[in-house]
Chain A
Amino acid sequence: MKVYASVLKLRLLIGMQYRSAALAGVATQFFWGFISIMVFEAFYEHTSITPPISLKELITYIWLQQAFLAFIMLWFRDNELFDLITSGNIAYELCRPTDLYGFWYAKLLAQRLSSALLRCYPILLVAFFLPKPYNMTLPPNAITFILFIITLLLGLLLLVAISMFLYISVFITLSPMGSLLLFGVTGEFFAGLIIPIPLMPLWLQKIAYVLPFRWTADFPFRVYSGHIAQSDAIIGVFIQLGYLLGLLWLGKLALNNVLKRVVVQGG
């Protein structure tokens, strides 16, 4: 456990070095958040039916999305790991007395945590004090908030487990671009990051509900706004856990498999 704690510490230290990157990120996310909200606002004004998610809930959804970008985006990657695999520096990782899956999982988790810790506060803080209707609102009650925290963190663990497959695939393809695009586009779409899942057509919703992606973002955000009832949220936590354990097991299996075939080329 100590190993994982010190990986996290080191990652945080690295993250802190790039303050201007964090600031630029915050600015971009504000911009993006406003654009999304205004687009949805325009749609909502001219709709004749009652939308399945209210504008207020949607705005909260979008601000949470922007604040916890590092928790939910599949394209948010650790290039160092890609370099390790493609350059052969992985030779060193294999000389360490640690389980590689756990070690990398910790690295990725730490990277996302450090990045989100630096960026989420300013976004959340400002989003609360924005003029109506652009402002973020508090969750309906304390239990909902606790449920949100639990589901958000489980979602993060789940996302890192999903992203591990991206890195494992690079052992075979040796280039991260293809996997990144494929994982990024499908994963983010079905996590409801482009169109919130309640706004998708029914048949598409059905697909999204079967895949693991929505449990990383759509689910915790809707728990926050109260769009998902508390009882459903508790069931959801178990589904998240189920997915998490399944994907961890599969990922470990896959990684051990590719490691057996790994060839570190060159002198």
Chain B
Amino acid sequence: MIKVEGITKSFKVAKRSTGLLQATKALFYREHTIVEALKDITFSIEPGEIVGYIGPNGAGKSTTIKIMSGILVPDGGKCSIMGFTPWKNRVEYVKNIGVVFGQRSQLWWDVPVIDSFELLKDIYYVPQQEYKSTLDLLIETLDLQDIINSPVRQLSLGQRMRCEIAASLIHNPQILFLDEPTIGLDAVSKIAVRQFIKAINQEKGVTVVLTTHDMNDIEALANRVILIGKGSLLYDGKLEELRKRFGTHKTITADYRKNSNSIDIPGTSIIHWSPEHAVLSIDTEQILTSDVITQLSKKVDLLDVTIESQPIEDIIVQLYKEFQI
């Protein structure tokens, strides 16, 4: 469905130091640096997949999305989405995709949301019947009933984002690109958005590519993650694999009867210790979790134990460090 092969893109950025002298100099002569935003990115995505596209700020996520949605022209490489080259057959191609840029707005600011939807209906030539049923579905699943008649300027960010997502689905696209769809949303709105993305993926088979910094989004939605950093592709595979490969740490929190003996167990490190409470970090490649608990129970009278896998956030931070991005 989506095939990206060896995409590269670089931007020319004007460089200027601070100070009045430098600023004056820049009037006549400007130094430019070439920033390589994308270096040889290759991946392919099958129909019906939800792919999480992750990476630190400035990694090139949005650039990739913009290239895939036909807004930017790459310097080199091939991209074929549903048989189209996005930047070449722009008008033909964009009928098939929906895009949400979390930091931008596509709704008309001064008019009720529904008016923007009506206009989009006409822009995409959606037949009235189809529009009606899609709209009903969107209103129901995204809970838009109460806000659809309010002008966009009166909506909260969460409400607006739900409308933005609905707006990009009016024409029933087969592919949905979401660039940070949950940015700035509260917990309730985030969950609503996630559930909705899952629902349209399962019910309509929409292929979803989403970029985000919220790893909970990825955990809730994506089976597959693509990690990029400094413009290069670093990892492409299942989230579980990622966890297995890098998430070898678990955290054990133990409460016990007052005991001032130390609880030093090989293969673990103590994060926090008090006579009644300890937090241990264990490396599952060196020692099994069950062994740790056995040893722990010999040393102290355990009252309560909780075992936590390493949060995906930490894994990502660790990954970023490992790849030096």
Interface-side segment among B38-46, B96-104, B255-263: B96-104
- Total contacting residues, chain A, CB less than 8 A: 28
Do A3 and B104 form a contact, CB below 8 Å, given A13-B115, A94-B70, A267-B62? no
- Which of A7, A99, A267 interacts with B91 by CB under 8 Å? A99
Nearest chain-A residue to B13 (Cβ)?
A265
- In the complex the two chains form, is A95's CB within 8 Å of B69's CB? yes
Chain B: number of interface residues, binned into ranges: 35 or more
Identify which of A2, A80, A91 contacts B66 (C-beta below 8 A). A91
- B90: shortest Cβ distance to chain A, in Å? 7
Q: Does B217 contact A (CB under 8 A)?
A: no
A14/B108 in contact, CB under 8 A:
yes
Distance between B32 CB and nearest chain A CB, rounded to angstroms: 14
Q: Given A94-B90, A267-B57, decide whether A6 and B122 contact each other with a Cβ distance below 8 A.
A: yes
Docked-complex contact B71 and A267, CB < 8 angstroms: no
Considering only CB atoms, which chain A residue lies closest to B171 in the complex? A97
By the criterion CB–CB under 8 Å, are B123 and A89 in contact?
A: no
A95 near B115 with CB under 8 A, answer no
The CA of A98 and the CA of B61, in the complex, are separated in Å by 26
**Contacting residues, chain A, for B125 (C-beta < 8 A):** 2
In the complex, the answer to whether A92 meets B104 with C-beta atoms within 8 Å is yes
Q: Enumerate B38-82 residues with CB–CB distance to A below 8 Å.
A: 57, 61-62, 66, 69-73
CB-based nearest A residue for B121: A6
Q: Which of A14, A88, A92, A267 has its CB near the most chain B CB atoms (within 10 A)?
A: A267
Given contacts A6-B122, A91-B66, A94-B71, is CB(A14)–CB(B111) below 8 Å?
yes
Chain B's closest residue to A4 (CB) is B122
Q: Which of A161-193 contact B (CB under 8 A)?
A: none
Contact of A92 among B99, B118, B122 (CB under 8 A): B99
Mark contacts of A252-267 with chain B using CB atoms, 8 A cut-off: 1 yes-contact digit, 0 otherwise: 0000000010111011
- Residue pair B91, A91 in contact (C-beta under 8 Å): no
Task: Given the known inter-chain contacts A6-B118, A14-B110, A264-B66, please indicate yes or no for A95 contacting B105, CB distance below 8 A.
Answer: no
B124 near A: Cβ within 8 Å?
yes
B273 at the interface (CB under 8 A from A): no
A10 touches B123 (CB 8 A): no
Q: Does B30 contact A (CB under 8 A)?
A: no
Measured between beta carbons, the chain A residues less than 8 angstroms from B62 are: 266-267
Interface presence of A54 (CB below 8 A):
no
How far in angstroms is the closest Cβ of chain B from A196? 36
Whole-angstrom distance between the Cβ of A29 and the nearest chain B Cβ: 23
Let me know if A96 is at the binding interface, CB within 8 A: yes
Q: Are A92 and B110 in contact (CB under 8 A)?
A: no
28 pairs from A and B in contact (CB 8 Å cutoff) = A2-B125, A5-B122, A7-B119, A10-B108, A10-B111, A10-B119, A14-B108, A14-B110, A80-B109, A88-B104, A89-B106, A91-B71, A92-B106, A94-B71, A95-B99, A96-B94, A97-B91, A97-B123, A98-B91, A98-B123, A103-B123, A263-B11, A263-B72, A264-B66, A264-B71, A266-B103, A267-B57, A267-B62
